[in-house]
Amino acid sequence: MPEFLTVTDADFEARFAALLGMKREEAEDVDAAVAAILADVRARGDAAVLELTARYDRLTLDAAGMAFSPAEIAAEIAKVSAEDRAALELAAERIRAYHARQRPEDASWVDAAGARLGWRWTPVSAAGLYVPGGLASYPSSVLMNAIPAKVAGVGRLVVTCPTPGGVVNPLVLLAAQISGVDEIYRIGGAQAIAALAYGTETIAPVDKITGPGNAYVAAAKRRVFGRVGIDMIAGPSEILVIADAGNDPDWIALDLLSQAEHDQSAQALLITTDAALGRAVAEAVVRRLETLERREIAGASWRDNGAVIVVETLAQAAALANRIAPEHLEIMVEDAEALADAIPHAGAIFLGPWTPEAIGDYVGGPNHVLPTARSARFSSGLNVLDFMKRTTMARMTPEALKAIGPSAERLAISESLEAHGLSVRARLDRLNG
């Protein structure tokens, strides 16, 4: 059974703090192995990637075989049913429409001193998307990473996806095609991150790498950060449901289980003002676990990391939610919008009983790559700006330089940066002389 906490319990704060501080992920120490792989690929390029792919993915390739050819892609995609294709296309269309609204605006204005100021947004030239192989090879994640990049205007979008034993998920290839991916390589692990960051004879380097992966991939991304941009380092998935009386316990149980089934390390939490609902949800989870395909994983997650927290007021619920800073937040209370306003720290918010989090995983439109492990306190889900950068622009006129230049000169002198000051002074002297 998961934790059952009530805010009036004497030991509530200690138990809640323990829940918050819980280390759900084994930090596998793969850093030394990853450093060696990165150095090897950097030094030997394709040859190293091919050897590592043979070793870890039991797949013998030559350099020409690293990329899926158009014919291979077409042959795999032909296996997809019309219904699956239609669902993927609906999802892509909705994700594209949502993210299109995130395109930022350039700005340019002349201020009172006569200076023209502004900024300009431009896309990164090339981005790499890591797609895990095997069970966690999700076509929806391809859409969620690739579409924002394409909306941003990324010119070259590369997917790497390991195919252990040569097996690939046709839906992943279809999702890549629908999203406008330009190149797809059958490689994975730290060697794929190295190939994307440093380039090889066959794979040109990219500027930004996104996408989830195992401990090797995460360690490799952390190491190449700076040489290329990376997205967040994703941790296990989380959901927090806040519900008042009158909700269907079975719906909430399924929403909790839809996070719990991802991973034994996932965390599903319920905060409710109604203790009876809390108990009913816990019972419904047990019932649903009896038949759920992934009952082993989901059951372990719920047992080890799950909790039902009973509060007296929604203000208490908001305060706890802000401390949790959940990746996914479902709000199923009478005035869900008002409660959402009181919870700034959350990755994605799902309002009302008709918005199960699974909608957001696939077809809602918002991104499902979201900040985990309390990082919603300071970071955002994947979005179009992650594939763009802002350049600031300034143009002084002689008049503007006369107005503000002397202050720049003064500050430069106060910081003992003489050449800074002289670069302004030389121009002012021309104007005054």
Give the annotated binding-site residues for substrate.
Answer: 237, 259, 262, 328, 361, 415, 420
Task: Look up 328 and say whether it is catalytic.
Answer: yes
Pairing mode, if any, of strands 126-130 and 156-160? parallel
Helices 398-414 & 418-432 angle (0-180, nearest 10): 150
What is the rounded CA–CA span in Å between residue 265 and residue 418?
56
Query: Is 51 or 89 the residue whose CB approaches its own copies more closely?
Result: 89
3-class DSSP assignment, residue 108: strand
Q: What is the b/e burial string over 257-281, where b = at least 16 CB atoms within 10 angstroms of the residue's CB?
A: bbbbbbbbbbbbbbbbbbeebbebb
For the chain, the first-to-last Cα distance in angstroms comes to 84
* Shortest distance in whole angstroms from residue 229 CB to its own copies: 4
Contact of 79 with 170, CB cutoff 8 Å: yes
Catalytic residue among 76, 238, 261, 327: 327
Find all residues with CB under 8 Å of 172, minimum gap 6, and list them: 131, 137, 138, 139, 142, 161
Contact of 235 with 414, CB cutoff 8 Å: no
What is the rounded CA–CA span in Å between residue 266 and residue 253?
15
Contact of 244 with 332, CB cutoff 8 Å: yes
Contact of 170 with 136, CB cutoff 8 Å: no
- Of residues 181, 194, 217, the one with CA closest to residue 50: 194
Query: Is 183 or 207 the residue whose CB approaches its own copies more closely?
Result: 207
Query: Is 12 or 119 the residue whose CB approaches its own copies more closely?
Result: 119
Task: Look up 327 and say whether it is catalytic.
Answer: yes
What is the rounded CA–CA span in Å between residue 415 and residue 81?
67
> Which tokens sit at 235?
């941790």
* Shortest distance in whole angstroms from residue 426 CB to its own copies: 6
Catalytic residue among 261, 328, 357, 368: 328
List binding-site positions: 130, 191, 214, 237, 259, 262, 328, 361, 415, 420
What is the rounded CA–CA span in Å between residue 225 and residue 145?
18
What type of residue sits at position 199? G
Rg (CA), the chain: 26
Query: Is 50 or 242 the residue whose CB approaches its own copies more closely?
Result: 242
So which residues are the catalytic ones?
A: 327-328
